[in-house]
Structure 1
Amino acid sequence: MKPARVTAEAARRRLLAGGEIALLDVREAAAFGDGHPLFAIPCPYGRLELSAVALVPRRDCPLLLVDDDDGVAERAARRLAACGYTDITLVIGGVPAWKATGYGLFAGVNVPSKTLGELLEHAHHPRTIDAPTLAQWQREGRAHLFFDARPPAEYAKMRIGGARCVPNGELAHRLATVATDDETPIVITCAGRTRGIVGALGLRALGVRNPVYALENGTQGWALAGLPLDRGARADPLPTLDAAATAASRARAARLIDASGLTRTDVAGASALLAEPGRTPFLFDLRNVQERADRPAPGAVPVLAGQLIQATDQYVGVRNARLVLMDDTGLRAGLAGLFLRALGYEVHVLALDDEPGAGVPVVPAPQLMPPAPPPMVDPRVAWARAGDGFPLFDLRSSSEWEERRLVCARWSMRVDLPGPLPPGTSRVLLQGEAGVVAGAARDLAEIGITAEWLAADLDTCAAAGWPVEAMRRPLGRDKARDRVWFVHDRHDGNAEASRRYLAWETGLIAQLDAEERATFGTIPIDALA
C-alpha cells in the first residue's frame, strides 16, 4: 500500500491541531542540524527503525515523514510499514517545500526545549551572574554553592572549577542535603543557557529562599570571558538523603503538584493510562541507578529529569503524547512535569513512595517488529572473506571510523548503500550496531544482496588477525552527514562558534510565528512558590 501524501500546508495544520502526531525528519543529522521544521523529530534513515520504535511506540500513531525531496521518505515509509506502522503520510516536496511555502526552518537540535527556556527567561527574568563576577566570588572566597546541571558525561568533557555535578531535578530533590541554610547563594551552570535557566526557575517555583542564579551563558560564557575550563573531571556521587531530607523532598513535591494542578496517579492508574488504546504511552523513570535497581520497572525509560526537559525530542517523538513520570517522592517527576506540560504534553506524576508494596506500572509491549540483524560471522572467517573480495561496509558512526577502523573496511551511511560495487556482487559484510545493521541488511536484501554481520569489536577482530588502522582519518562534512555540524566545535575553543551558538539560542523566540508561539504553555513560577 502506498503511503498518503499531503502538502506542507496540510501537514502543518495537522501538526498544530492538538492531536497526537509525529513529524519524523528522516534526513541525516547534518541536514537536520542545518534547518528543520520546529516540531520535527530527528529520525535519520541510518537509524530509522531503532529511533522510530523508541520515539513512537504505537503502531497506529499518525506519522508524517519529511525528507529533502530526494526519495528517502518513500524508502522510510516502506521500512516503517514493515515494522508495523499503519498510518504513514509523506510531506510532498519535503523540507524544500516547507521552506518554499514560507514556513520557518530552525537550525540546531532540541529546539522546542530550548525555545521554552528562552520564553521562560523572558517571562520570569531569573537572576543571572556573569562569568567575571562569579570568578571574583571564587577568588574572594565568597560563600556560595555552585552546581553543574548537566549529566556526568557532559561534565567530564569540560567544567568550571569548583562546580559540583548535581543535575537539574536531582539538585531540587537533594537540596536539603546540599543547602543547609536559606541564605547562601546558589549558582547553576550548564554548557549554554537552557539548563541554567530551567534549574534556577525550578528552584524558584519550589519556593527556595536562597538567592538562586543562573550562570550567564554557562561554560561557553566562562570561556568567552577568557577563563579556564577543566577537562576530564569525574563527577562525585550524588549526595545521599537521610530521612529528614527525603521528607523535605516529599513535602516540596506535594506543594508543587497541588499548586500547579499536575495530575497524580498510582501504580494501577499508571498501568491503565499506558494501556489505553489510541494514546501513545511513555513511562519515564527519573530515579537514579541505585533507586531503579532497588525497585526495577521493566519497560520504563530511565532518564534524568533535567535531560528530559532539555532534550525532549530525543525521548518523545509524538506531539501531545501522554507521559507518566515516575520517581520516589514525586519531586523530580513533578518538576519535570511542570516544564513538559508547557511543551504540550499530557503529564501524570507517579510517586512510588506512596505505594511501597504496590509493585511498578506495567508497560505494554509495542506491537512493532523492527528488522532482525543478519547472521553473525566470526572475525576470522570474515577476514578470509574480505581477502576473497567480499566488500565490508563499516556502518559505525563517522566519529568512530575516524579514530580506528579495520583494513579493507569502507565507511558508509546506510542511506548510501550499496554504493559502487563490482558487477555481480551478491554478498557483503556489515559492521556496526545491531539495529543499524539490521535495517541496512533489509535494504540490501531488496536488491538481491545478502549480508552477514561482523558483530565483533575492533579489538576482538585484531586478536583474530584482522589488521586495524589507528591513524586518525578525518572526514569532512560532505561525507560525515551523520553528525550535526551546526557550530559543532563551540566546546573545543572556537570562540566564534560559541558566539554564534549563543546568538542562535537568544534568537529562537524571534523565529516563531504566532501559531508556533501559541503552542507553548506558560508556567506561573512565582505563584507556585
Structure 2
Amino acid sequence: MTGSAISAEDLHTLLGASGEFALLDVRDARVTAERGSILLGVAAPLGVLETRIDTLVPRRSTPVVVYDSGDEGLAARAARRLTELGYSDVRPLDGGLRAWADAGHKVHTGGDHVVGQAFGEFVEDVYKTPHVTVAELLAAQAEGRDVVILDSRPLEEFQVHSLPGGTSIPGAELVYRVDEVVASPDALVVVNCAGRTRSIIGAQTLINAGLPNRVVALEGGTQSWILEGHTLDHGKASAAPPPRPANVETARARARGVAERFGIRTIDGPTLRRFQAEGDERSVYLLDVRPREEFEAGHVPGSLSAPSWDLAPWVFRHVGTHNARIVLVDGPDLVRATVAASWVTQIGWGEVFVTSTDSGAELETGPVAPVVLGLAEVDLVEAGALRDALGSATAPLVVDLAPSNGYLAGHLPGAVFAPRARLADAAAELPGDGAVVLTSPDGVVARLAAPELAAATDRPVKVLAGGTAAWVAAGFPVEAGDGHFVAPAEDAIRHGWFESDPERQKEGFRRYLAWEIGLVAELREDDTVPFRTFL
C-alpha cells in the first residue's frame, strides 16, 4: 500500500539522517531543469520508471520518496506504480517541489542532476584545482613546451569532437594508463572535457594520485576552445593503451596512496557474500568500474557494469539509495576501483568498498541485460505485417514513445510522437479513429504503455515487436524531421551542442559555463549538501 504523503520538513529531516532512503524525481529532464530540483533527488522519470527502478533501488523495502513540481499528479502515479511493483514504503512529497521551496529549502535549477556538476565546482573550490585558459595552453605549445592533452571523456564522446593532439583517458583510467602517454615528469599535463566538471575531477584525480607533473584543468574545455574561435577535431580515435606491467606497478603504488588518504576499504570474497546475503536489510550495489569490454570478458556474478567515468561524479545514475553499501569491482590491481571509490566517498553518497574479480567467485561473461519490472502481455505486430498494414486503406496510427531526440533523428513514416507519461491523458488527441500501434527504440517502453492506453481508449492497441530497432533491422525506411507531436517533448534539455547556428551555439556555451561556475554559491545556500573533504 502506498504510504501517506511526507511533508517537506519531514523530508528535510530524512535527508540528514543516516538511514537508507531514495528520493526520486519522476519528472522529465527539461521540466526538472527549468522548474528546479532537490539536490539529493535522483532522476527516475515516470515514463521509464520500470526500466530503471530495479537498478536504482534494488531493495524493495527501501524508504522511497517520489516528487514532482506539485501540480502534475506524476508523484501520486509513480507511488502507485512502485507499490504495484513490490515496493513497500513509498510516499509522495506533499505539495511537491513547490512545498519544498515554500518551506524555505533550496531549489536548484539548470539541470536534471545538478549534484554532479555542483560536485565538480565544489572540488575546484575546496582543493584549488589549478587551471589554464585556452590562450595559456596555446602559448605553452607555441613556446615549444612539452604539453600533453588528456581528454577525460570516453572514446565515443572523444570521437565526436576533440582538441587537436588530445588523447582519450576517461575517469579512473587516468591513473591506470597515464604513464603510457606522459613520458616525462617535466611535461605540462592538461586535462579537458566538453565543459568543466570532468576537466576538474580528472586533473584533481592525477594530483591526488601524486603524478609528479604539473597538472591543470582546461578552463571551459572544448566549449571554451570554440568560444575562442578555434576548430575542434572530429572522428579521431586517439586513446591510451592498457598499461605495461611496470606501469601497472606504478599505478598500484599511487592507488595505495589514494586509498590511505581517503580511507578506502578493501573487502574479500566472504565479506562480499555476507553483504549480499544481508541484501534484504541493507542495500548493496555491486558495480564493476572497468571498461565494458573488460566487464563482459569476465565479471563477478551479480555485478553491473558502471565504468569509472560514468560512476564519478555521476554515481546517481547507478545508485538511487543514499547511505547504502557500494562495492566497486576491479581487476586484481584495484587501481581504478580505488580511484573511483575516492570520489564516491567524497560525494558522500554511501558506504564505499572495493573488491577484486579474484574474490573467489566463478566469473560470468557477456553483457548483463537491465531488469525491467511490470511488463505485461500485449498484442504484438511484426515489422513486416505492420509495413503491409501501413499501405492499406485501414492503416493504423503509429505512436512513437522514443526520447524526442531519437524520434526527430528517425521514426517510422507517418509516426507521431507522444511521451509515455502523457499518453493516456492525450488519448483523445491521437489522430484518426482506427487501430494504434505503439513503438519505442526496443519496444520495451511501448509494451509498458500499451495497457495504459488501452484503458483510456476504445481503439485497438498493439505494439511493434522489437520496436523501431526491429523495423530498421528489417530494412524498412524511417524519416527524420519534426513530425507530429501529440504532446510536448519535455525529456531533452536544450544546450549549445544542439545549436547549428554558430552564434547561438556560443551563446549556449556561455550560459552553461556561467551556470556551472555559479554552482558553488548555490551550494552555500543548501544545508543538505553531502560532500566530504579530505584536506
Change (3 A) 1:343 1:54: same
Matched, 1:7 2:7: yes
- The amino acid of 1:397's aligned partner reads P
Answer whether contact 2:21 2:323 (CA < 8 A) is retained: yes
- The amino acid of 1:76's aligned partner reads A
TM superposition shift of 1:469: 5.2
Answer whether contact 1:84 1:368 (CA < 8 A) is retained: no
Separation in 1 of the partners of 2:486 and 2:380? 31
Change (3 A) 1:352 1:447: same
Q: 1:50 is matched with which residue?
A: 51
TM superposition shift of 1:213: 0.9
- The amino acid of 1:455's aligned partner reads A
Map of 1:154-173 to 2, 5 A cutoff? Answer: 154-173=157-176
Q: 1:215 is matched with which residue?
A: 218
Q: 1:382 is matched with which residue?
A: 386
Residues 335-386 of structure 1 show CA distances to partners (whole Å, capped at 9, x for unaligned) of 1111111222210011346x5x654599x99999432463431123234555
SS at match of 2:462: strand
- The amino acid of 2:28's aligned partner reads E
Answer whether contact 1:170 1:332 (CA < 8 A) is retained: yes
Separation in 2 of the partners of 1:477 and 1:164? 44
TM superposition shift of 1:14: 1.2
- The amino acid of 1:444's aligned partner reads L
SS at match of 1:135: helix
- Bigger Cα displacement from structure 2, 147-156 vs 309-318: 309-318
TM superposition shift of 1:322: 1.5
- Bigger Cα displacement from structure 2, 85-94 vs 303-312: 303-312
Change (3 A) 1:499 1:16: same
Q: 2:23 is matched with which residue?
A: 23
Q: 1:79 is matched with which residue?
A: 81
Change (3 A) 1:483 1:366: closer
Matched, 1:127 2:130: yes
- The amino acid of 2:416's aligned partner reads R
- Bigger Cα displacement from structure 2, 418-427 vs 85-94: 418-427
Q: 2:447 is matched with which residue?
A: 438
Separation in 2 of the partners of 1:152 and 1:45? 31
Change (3 A) 1:314 1:12: same
Residue 499 (structure 1) aligned to one of 500, 510, 534: 510
Per the normalisation by structure 2, the TM-score is: 0.88
Answer whether contact 2:378 2:450 (CA < 8 A) is retained: yes
Separation in 1 of the partners of 2:125 and 2:296? 40
Change (3 A) 1:25 1:151: same
Answer whether contact 1:6 1:90 (CA < 8 A) is retained: yes
TM superposition shift of 1:461: 3.9
Could you tell me the percent identity over the aligned residues? 32
Separation in 1 of the partners of 2:307 and 2:62? 26
Change (3 A) 1:270 1:18: same
Q: 2:374 is matched with which residue?
A: 370
Q: Tell me, which stretches of 5 or more residues in structure 1 are unaligned?
A: 525-529
Q: 2:40 is matched with which residue?
A: 39
Q: 1:351 is matched with which residue?
A: 356
SS at match of 1:406: coil
Separation in 2 of the partners of 1:506 and 1:258? 31
- Bigger Cα displacement from structure 2, 490-499 vs 173-182: 490-499
Answer whether contact 2:397 2:432 (CA < 8 A) is retained: no
SS at match of 1:437: helix
Answer whether contact 2:264 2:341 (CA < 8 A) is retained: yes
SS at match of 1:122: helix
Per the normalisation by structure 1, the TM-score is: 0.89
Q: 2:462 is matched with which residue?
A: 452
Q: 1:527 is matched with which residue?
A: none
Answer whether contact 1:150 1:167 (CA < 8 A) is retained: yes
Change (3 A) 1:518 1:202: same
Q: 1:285 is matched with which residue?
A: 288
Map of 1:504-519 to 2, 5 A cutoff? Answer: 504-513=515-524, 516=527, 519=530
Separation in 1 of the partners of 2:140 and 2:152? 20
Change (3 A) 1:371 1:348: same
Answer whether contact 2:288 2:328 (CA < 8 A) is retained: yes
Change (3 A) 1:405 1:291: closer
Change (3 A) 1:490 1:384: closer
Residues 442-461 of structure 1 show CA distances to partners (whole Å, capped at 9, x for unaligned) of 42354476642203565864
Answer whether contact 1:339 1:523 (CA < 8 A) is retained: no
Separation in 2 of the partners of 1:404 and 1:423? 20
TM superposition shift of 1:476: 8.8
TM superposition shift of 1:140: 4.0
TM superposition shift of 1:211: 0.7
TM superposition shift of 1:465: 9.4
Separation in 1 of the partners of 2:337 and 2:211? 18
Separation in 1 of the partners of 2:309 and 2:295? 17
- The amino acid of 2:465's aligned partner reads A
Residues 11-36 of structure 1 show CA distances to partners (whole Å, capped at 9, x for unaligned) of 22212223211111111111012221
Residue 407 (structure 1) aligned to one of 409, 413, 417: 413
SS at match of 1:297: coil
Answer whether contact 2:313 2:343 (CA < 8 A) is retained: no
Q: 2:62 is matched with which residue?
A: 61
- Bigger Cα displacement from structure 2, 170-179 vs 483-492: 483-492
Separation in 2 of the partners of 1:406 and 1:19? 48
Q: 1:470 is matched with which residue?
A: 479
TM superposition shift of 1:252: 2.0
- The amino acid of 2:518's aligned partner reads G
SS at match of 1:323: strand
- Bigger Cα displacement from structure 2, 76-85 vs 268-277: 268-277
Matched, 1:428 2:436: yes
TM superposition shift of 1:265: 0.5
- Bigger Cα displacement from structure 2, 245-254 vs 125-134: 245-254
SS at match of 1:256: helix
SS at match of 1:187: strand
Q: 2:345 is matched with which residue?
A: 341
TM superposition shift of 1:274: 3.1
- The amino acid of 2:289's aligned partner reads L
Answer whether contact 1:337 1:347 (CA < 8 A) is retained: yes
SS at match of 2:18: coil
Separation in 2 of the partners of 1:495 and 1:423? 39
When the two chains are superposed, the root-mean-square deviation of aligned CA atoms in Å is 3.1
Separation in 2 of the partners of 1:135 and 1:186? 13
Answer whether contact 2:472 2:478 (CA < 8 A) is retained: no
Separation in 2 of the partners of 1:501 and 1:292? 34
TM superposition shift of 1:132: 0.9
SS at match of 2:322: coil
Q: Which structure's relative contact order is higher, taking Cα pairs within 8 Å and 6+ residues apart?
A: 1
Residue 485 (structure 1) aligned to one of 494, 500, 515: 494
TM superposition shift of 1:475: 7.8
Matched, 1:205 2:196: no
TM superposition shift of 1:520: 1.5
Residue 311 (structure 2) aligned to one of 308, 311, 317: 308
Answer whether contact 2:134 2:224 (CA < 8 A) is retained: yes
Residue 198 (structure 2) aligned to one of 187, 195, 199: 195
Change (3 A) 1:57 1:490: farther
Residue 230 (structure 2) aligned to one of 227, 230, 238: 227
Change (3 A) 1:119 1:183: same
Answer whether contact 1:282 1:324 (CA < 8 A) is retained: yes
Separation in 2 of the partners of 1:443 and 1:25? 21
